[in-house]
Amino acid sequence: MKKFTRRNFIQDSTLIAAGAGALSTALPAASEDKEKVAANDKISVALIGCGGQGNADLKQMLKIDGVECLALCDVDTEHLAKTADDLEKNRGKRPDTHKDFREVIDRKDIDVVIVATPDHWHAIPTILACQAGKDVYVEKPLALSVAEGRAMVKAARANNRIVQMGTQQRSAKHYREAIEYVKSGKLGQIRLVKAWAYLDWKGELPPVADEDPPENLDWDFWLGPAPARPYNKNRCHFNFRWYWDYSGGLMTDWGAHMLDIANFGMDVLAPKSAMAIGGKYGYPNDAMETPDTQQSILEYDGWNLIWEHAVGVGRGPFDREHGVAFHGNEGILIVDRHQWEVWPETSAIDKPRDYKAIGVPRRRSFDDFHFDHIKNFIDCVRSREQPHSEVEIGHNSMIACHLANIALRVGRRIFWDAEKEQIIGDEEANRWVGREYRAPWKLPEV
């Protein structure tokens, strides 16, 4: 995208309204040649990927008046049948079922597609759905690589589509109130942002032998553009996120959420440089490929971001399992999925130790912001306005995650050209900006 457009996007797209905390964007409406959808018009939805997150997304979407599910798609027939059974039982109508997502995208009666596949399958269905005139709710992380993410942005723009990434914190009232405070200047000059995820519920993944895939699973289709591998149950379904072929570990799983909030507060596109260290320190002999412990440092103009993650332990910074902390000269704002608060900074320069500012007591959240995020998407499908986590916001937030993982894998600091979306002067590292596809799969041309 041209320099002028991208810079103006980040300068103009994040204004917080007082009280309600609603985001006003300077982006153009998603479509100038399509009339707005009336609030009472039916919106027909198809779910691609009937795992836990896909079912959760669909359940929230079906709470909204006028939304109906016409089709389901999954390469695991057990997942497919269970979701279809549940919908028939609870809503009185059984949706059509498909194994091949292309059959769903070809249907003229589908308005919206939920893409809740493993991460390595996000880009192709999203791009093809946009090209077929469908709006898309795609789970985080937006894509498995920076190049895929940029192609998804181009597809959405070229076809005037609404595309929302599933970083639901963007629609949470308490997060938006916290970001309003960050932008108010009350924290003073912000020099450091910390983001983290310490997950004590995730333990060791014991190795298991390769075996024949179960009859209900089309393993070759599940692999899709990823390298051919023998079936191993550790690689499939929920645990796919711990393997480089399909995901990026906790850096892209929870980092997608936490670094998105850092981007939100600091109005940035991407870091200037990245470096990272980590490894399998907690469970050195388990089956995961991605690090169970990782620290990443991302450099921006005038401030740095530190990411930390660990599995098997839960006491992260500020004694919180997860969160984002904005460190200013006057105070520190800490926010997670439950609350936000401000700790005043101290000073002992030429005077007795004292507080620099007035703190903000903990402000808790009781909202269902997963529903709020999906409703924001459906509202925008109807209005053709841009949603809170529209595709380029999602793409920009994911760049830092991808760069941190690239730096980890090549073992050195890397430098980023945000305009060209390339790593500077490092051919080996720059190959990770995209990824190779296994034939016959290809990234669609946009």
DSSP 270-319: --SEEEEEEE--SSTTSS--S-SEEEEEEEETTEEEEEEEEES----GGG
* Predicted local confidence at residue 41, as pLDDT: 86
* Predicted local confidence at residue 36, as pLDDT: 53
**Strands, sheet with 414-417, edge to edge from the N-terminal-most edge strand:** 360-364, 339-344, 331-335, 322-328, 190-199, 303-311, 293-300, 273-279, 414-417, 422-423
* Predicted local confidence at residue 39, as pLDDT: 52
* Predicted local confidence at residue 95, as pLDDT: 98
**Half-sphere exposure of residue 300, counting CA atoms within 13 Å on the CB side?**
19
Residues in the chain: 446
Q: What are phi and psi of 273, to 5 degrees?
A: -150, 165
* Predicted local confidence at residue 40, as pLDDT: 55
* SS3 state of residue 329: coil
* Predicted local confidence at residue 10, as pLDDT: 32
* Predicted local confidence at residue 317, as pLDDT: 96
Superfamily of domain 186-370+398-425: Dihydrodipicolinate Reductase; domain 2 (3.30.360.10)
DSSP state of 359: -
**Which residue has 């550790």 as its token pair?**
234
What is the block-wise mean pLDDT of the chain (446 residues), using blocks of 10 residues? 33 32 36 48 96 98 98 98 97 97 98 98 98 98 98 98 98 98 98 98 96 98 98 97 98 98 96 98 98 98 98 96 98 98 91 86 94 98 98 97 98 98 98 97 96
Task: Kindly tell me the burial class for residue 398, based on how many C-beta atoms sit within 10 Å of its own C-beta (0-12, 13-18, 19 or more).
Answer: buried
Spatial distance between the Cα atoms of 300 and 297, rounded to a whole number of angstroms: 10
* Predicted local confidence at residue 428, as pLDDT: 97
